[in-house]
Amino acid sequence: MLLTLDILTTAAILFIVSIGLLAIFGVLKIINFAHGAWLTVGAYCAVVTAKLGLNPWAALPLAFVVGAALGGLAEHFIIRPLYRRPLDAILATWGLGIVVGQLVTLAFGRDVQMTPNLFAGTIAILGVEYSAYRLVALGIALAIGLLFALTIERTRLGLSARAVIMNETLARSLGIDTGRVRLVVFMIGAGLAALAGVLLTPLTSVDPNMGVSWLIGAFMLVMVADASYLALAAACLVFGAAQVLISTFVSPILGSIAIAVLAALVLRISPKGFSRA
């Protein structure tokens, strides 16, 4: 039972962390290595909120707005010149991540920051005492997933985004302002990443390099999901389960590389990953 809850909540957290990266990869076909920096920025929004004495939950909208604003700037000045050079875009966003990390360090120092827990305590569920926050995170993941799905399937932006994913040239010739779609999607992706940063604060320590450790996992999940949010959810469940099971029964160290290694093998066998199923 405990294992099931661990798997579900781990998958939920992975989904929260990687959905922003997926949105950007799907539409812009660019791996955003600044993703880790957006996570960090979000977490520091929680730090700032706490310092201002506000309700910890106020960090969520703040992080989304800050992330989206920074994302907009990054898209305009860094991503746009590199549309035709996707491998270089990986490098430039990685460089951006370094810059953001150092700016955070200059502003807040490199020590670990403490943040108030968003939701403390444990809940008795089906006979086990379980961390209340992890269960809340599960709910939030479902909510984010649902909102994301509604945006993609039911809104004009979602329609444009799907058009760009399928055939950007055609979408442009049909009068869709693809540059705008890219900008908006990048802002949403960065905003979601910052949001994820806030949601991570009760689970990990907050320091200027916290984002990097989450980046690779999110990146591998997105590679396997290949621009489909349903495939991402499936990948989070499968690889989250693998991570939990290997950590519990074999060794935590092997568990920590489970996602990266399994995802690489899946891609080797089926280059389209989970999206084909």
Partner 1 sequence: MLETLPAAGRIAPPPRRRLAVAAPCVVAGLAAMALWIAPAVLDTFAVNVLTRSMIYAVLAVTVDLLWGFAGILTFGQAAFFGVGAYATAMILTALGATPAGFAAALATAIAAPALLGLVVGWLSFYHRSTPLYASVISLVVPIVVVQLIYAGGESTGSSSGLVGFDVLPLEIAGYFRLAALVLVLVTLVAWILVRSDAGRALVALRDNEARCAYLGLNPRRLQILLTAALAAVAGLAGFLFANASGVVAPENAGFLFGTELVIWVALGGRGTLLGPVLGTIAIDYLAANLSGDLPFLWQLLLGTAFVIIIILLPGGLADLVGRLWRVLPIGRRTRAAPHLVARVAAPEAAGTGVPILKVENLAKAYGALTVLEGIDLEIRAGELVSLVGPNGAGKTTLMRCLSDGTEPFTGAVAIGGTAITGLTPNRIVGLGVGRKFQVASVFESLSVADCLRLARAPHDGLSPVGQAETLGLPQAALDVLRMTGLDHLLTPPTRLLSHGQKQALELAMVVALEPRLILLDEPTAGLTKAERTTIGTVLKALTTGRGIAAVLVEHDLDFVREISSRIVVLHQGRLVLDGTVEAVVGSELVRTIYSGGAHG
Residues contributing to the site for partner 1 (CB under 8 A): 31, 78, 81-82, 85-88, 90-92, 94-99, 101-103, 105-106, 110, 212, 216, 219-220, 223, 251, 253-254, 256-257, 260-261, 264, 267-268, 271
What is the SS3 assignment for 128?
strand
177-206 in b/e form (b: 16+ CB < 10 A) is ebeebbbbbbbbbbbbbbbbbbbbbbeeeb
Cβ atoms of residues 40 and 104 within 8 Å: yes
In what helix (H) or strand (E) does residue 122 lie, and over which residues does it extend? strand 122-125
Cβ atoms of residues 74 and 96 within 8 Å: yes
**Shortest Cβ distance from residue 232 to partner 1 (Å)?**
16
| Residue 147 backbone phi and psi in degrees, to 5 | -60, -45
Residue closer to partner 1 by CB (options 4, 102) is: 102
Residue closer to partner 1 by CB (options 151, 256) is: 256
Residue closer to partner 1 by CB (options 103, 146) is: 103
Residue closer to partner 1 by CB (options 84, 156) is: 84
**Shortest Cβ distance from residue 264 to partner 1 (Å)?**
5
| Residue 110 backbone phi and psi in degrees, to 5 | -100, 10
User: What radius of gyration do the chain's Cα atoms show?
Assistant: 18
User: Which residue's structure tokens are 């590389």?
Assistant: 257
Closest CA to 32 of 20, 44, 43, 42: 20
**Shortest Cβ distance from residue 83 to partner 1 (Å)?**
12
**Shortest Cβ distance from residue 30 to partner 1 (Å)?**
11
Residue closer to partner 1 by CB (options 44, 148) is: 44
Residue closer to partner 1 by CB (options 101, 145) is: 101
**Shortest Cβ distance from residue 103 to partner 1 (Å)?**
7
Cβ atoms of residues 147 and 27 within 8 Å: no
| Residue 52 backbone phi and psi in degrees, to 5 | -80, -5
**Shortest Cβ distance from residue 128 to partner 1 (Å)?**
30
Residue closer to partner 1 by CB (options 67, 273) is: 273
**Shortest Cβ distance from residue 88 to partner 1 (Å)?**
5
Taking every pair of Cα atoms in the chain, the longest distance, rounded to a whole number of angstroms, is: 59
Q: Which pair of tokens denotes residue 45? A: 């929004």
